[in-house]
């Protein structure tokens, strides 16, 4: 096999494309990077002699199938809801398929077909989900191998920005991944286990129920519960473990601000705002107020949120321009879409700014009658706005696995998450050579 098709050249593609180009001459590969924005695809290929950039609208069935039919393996870096069509094509044309996204029920069913056709189909190879799962599985397996009994598992992770770039930003946050996914983050109900009992946190209470966590070498952070703490219980072999908690990290102050956006109603994507193009942001905020006391819209909004007018939450809303007389430029936009456009103005990572990946896993276990806790921490900074830490931890696991596929070294068939020792050990070892290292300590 020689030809690799990478579909999608967005924020998380740089490290994957660089890795494939690095090994292209050695293995006689040719890489095609396809994206709806040709200039973006070209910027990732960088005139490499073993690669090319092409324009591709993945919704155009004939164009998509034409390119898939002429390649040997496919990597999809598309938004999750677009993977399925590509995966169906890979089944039809009998091509290996790799993605970083969650393995959905539909993908699992396709995995059965892939197995029948002796195709490698794999997902959950990046970050959230991916790297944090295989790193956790390795240490859980190691603890059990020495006779330890696991009694608790806590996982914290976040895609953030290096603190030196956030001095004038009251949110202490910028986009390092898909803005739409962030606006919709947390929607649904978070679930976890505490002392053997299931605990649920619905969306409207999620960002008001955060914990404070110390991350080794980084400081104090807020952590709000993930939706899926229980979904990997069986995969990790945690079916008899009474305490399981997974959470997302943010700098202090973020959760209160985001909770305010939810309580106002700005993360709702279920309805359009009629005549939104005739409104100012000030008028938009006023429309969410009823009979709250106060003079200005800002004062009344503070009363609605039960905070002081000079509070950090109101300063966060003001910094976004939500009380300004600036006109809204979008027609019939949903609140969530309007919020996304506001955040894009303020939260876009600049070319010289560095992102920061933090991950910490905590494993409680009993060994020889003694209670122990293993804390495993990853701290990784990007180089700049294009060569990000996020791109590294999302792209490298996929690229490493794809190299195994192209060399015929990977024999796992079907849509399998990489939870087996023979898969995760060499992957984690090679990741360490790129600076992706978990540091372990016992307490």
In a domain, 12, yes or no: yes
pLDDT higher for 411 or 261?
261
Q: Give pLDDT tens digits for 365-395.
A: 999 999 999 999 999 999 998 889 988 888 8
In a domain, 257, yes or no: no
For 423, the domain range is 3-127+388-442
The sign of the CA dihedral 411, 100, 80, 360 is positive
* Residue 286 pLDDT grade (very low, low, confident, very high; cuts 50, 70, 90): very high
pLDDT value for 157: 93
pLDDT value for 414: 54
Query: Secondary structure of the chain in the HEC alphabet?
Result: CCEEEEECCCCCCHHHHHHHHHHHHHHCCEEEEEECCHHHHHHHHCCCCCEEEEECCCCCHHHHHHHHHCCCEEEECCCHHHHHHHHHHHHHHCCCEEECCCCCHHHHHHHHHHHHCCCEEECCCECCCEHHHHHHHHHHHHHHHCCCEEEEEEEEEEEEECHHHCCCCCCCCCECCCHHHHHCCCCCEEEEEECCEEEEEEHHHHCCCCEEEEECCCEEEEEEECCCCCCCCCCCCCCCCCEEEEEEEECCCHHHHHHHHHHHCCCCCCCCCCCHHHCEHHHHHHCCCCCCCCCCHHHHHHHHHCCCCCCHHHHHHHHCCCCCCCECCCCCCCHHHHHHHHHHHHHECCCCCCEEEEEEEEEEEEECCEEEEEEEEEEEECCCCCCCHHHHHHHHHHHHHHHHHHCCCCCCCEECCCCCHHHHHHHHHHHHCCCCCCEEEEC
CA–CA gap between residue 403 and residue 371 (Å, rounded): 41
Q: Give pLDDT tens digits for 13-59.
A: 888 999 999 999 999 999 999 999 999 999 999 999 999 999 999 88
pTM of the model: 0.89
CATH of the domain at 107: 3.40.50.720
In a domain, 25, yes or no: yes
pLDDT higher for 410 or 408?
408
pLDDT higher for 190 or 90?
190
- For residues 401-422, average pLDDT: 72
pLDDT value for 107: 60
Torsion of CA 56, 59, 63, 65, to 10 degrees: 120
Q: Is the per-residue pLDDT at 95 higher than 90?
A: no
Q: Is the per-residue pLDDT at 330 higher than 90?
A: no
In a domain, 237, yes or no: no
Q: Give pLDDT tens digits for 120-166.
A: 666 555 455 567 788 888 999 999 999 999 999 999 999 999 999 99
Token output for 204: 């409207």
pLDDT value for 328: 92
State the total domains in the chain: 1
In a domain, 203, yes or no: no
pLDDT value for 180: 80
Q: Give pLDDT tens digits for 100-120.
A: 665 556 665 666 665 655 566
In a domain, 400, yes or no: yes
In a domain, 53, yes or no: yes
What integer best gives the mean pLDDT of the chain? 88
- For residues 344-348, average pLDDT: 91
In a domain, 100, yes or no: yes
* Residue 410 pLDDT grade (very low, low, confident, very high; cuts 50, 70, 90): confident
Q: Give pLDDT tens digits for 171-226.
A: 999 988 778 878 888 888 999 999 999 999 999 999 999 999 999 899 999 999 99
CA–CA gap between residue 209 and residue 222 (Å, rounded): 10
* Residue 257 pLDDT grade (very low, low, confident, very high; cuts 50, 70, 90): very high
CA–CA gap between residue 298 and residue 186 (Å, rounded): 26
CA–CA gap between residue 382 and residue 11 (Å, rounded): 12
% of the chain surpassing 70 pLDDT: 90
% of the chain surpassing 90 pLDDT: 61
């Amino acid at each position: 096999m020689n030809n690799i098709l990478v579909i999608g050249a967005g924020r998380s593609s740089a490290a994957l494309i660089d890795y494939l180009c690095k090994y292209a001459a050695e293995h006689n590969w040719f890489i095609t990077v396809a994206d709806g924005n040709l200039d973006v695809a070209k910027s990732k290929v960088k005139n490499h002699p073993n690669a090319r950039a092409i324009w591709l609208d993945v919704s155009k069935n004939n164009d998509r199938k034409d390119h898939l039919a002429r390649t040997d393996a496919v990597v999809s870096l598309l938004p999750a809801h677009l993977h399925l069509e590509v995966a169906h094509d890979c089944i039809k044309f009998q091509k290996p398929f790799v993605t970083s996204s969650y393995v959905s029920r539909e993908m699992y069913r396709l995995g059965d077909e892939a197995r029948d056709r002796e195709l490698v189909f794999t997902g959950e190879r990046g970050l959230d989900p991916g790297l944090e799962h295989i790193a956790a599985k390795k240490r859980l397996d190691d603890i059990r191998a020495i006779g330890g009994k696991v009694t608790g598992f806590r996982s914290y992770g976040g895609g953030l920005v290096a603190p030196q770039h956030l001095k004038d930003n009251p949110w202490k946050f910028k986009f390092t991944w898909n803005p739409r996914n962030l606006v919709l983050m947390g929607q649904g109900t978070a679930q976890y286990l505490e002392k053997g009992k299931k605990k649920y946190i619905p969306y409207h209470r999620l960002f008001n129920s955060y914990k404070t966590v110390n991350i080794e070498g980084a400081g104090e952070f807020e952590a709000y519960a993930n939706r899926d703490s229980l979904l990997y219980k069986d995969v990790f072999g945690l079916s008899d473990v009474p305490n399981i908690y997974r959470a997302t990290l943010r700098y202090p102050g973020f959760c209160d601000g985001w909770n305010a956006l939810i309580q106002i109603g700005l993360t709702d994507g279920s309805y359009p705002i009629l005549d939104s193009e005739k409104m100012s942001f000030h008028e938009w905020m006023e429309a969410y107020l009823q009979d709250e006391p106060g003079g200005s819209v800002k004062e009344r909004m503070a009363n609605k949120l039960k905070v002081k007018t000079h509070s950090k939450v109101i300063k966060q809303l003001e910094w976004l321009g939500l009380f300004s007389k600036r006109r809204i430029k979008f027609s019939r936009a949903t609140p969530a879409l309007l919020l996304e456009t506001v955040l894009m103005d303020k939260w876009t990572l600049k070319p010289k700014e560095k992102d920061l990946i933090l991950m910490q896993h905590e494993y409680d276990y009993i060994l020889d009658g003694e209670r122990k806790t293993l804390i495993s921490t990853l701290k990784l900074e990007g180089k700049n706005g294009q060569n990000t830490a996020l791109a590294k931890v999302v792209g490298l696991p996929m690229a490493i696995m794809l190299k195994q596929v192209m060399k015929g070294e990977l024999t796992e068939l079907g849509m399998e998450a990489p939870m087996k020792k023979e898969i995760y050990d060499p992957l984690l070892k090679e990741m360490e050579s790129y600076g992706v290292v978990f540091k372990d300590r016992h307490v």
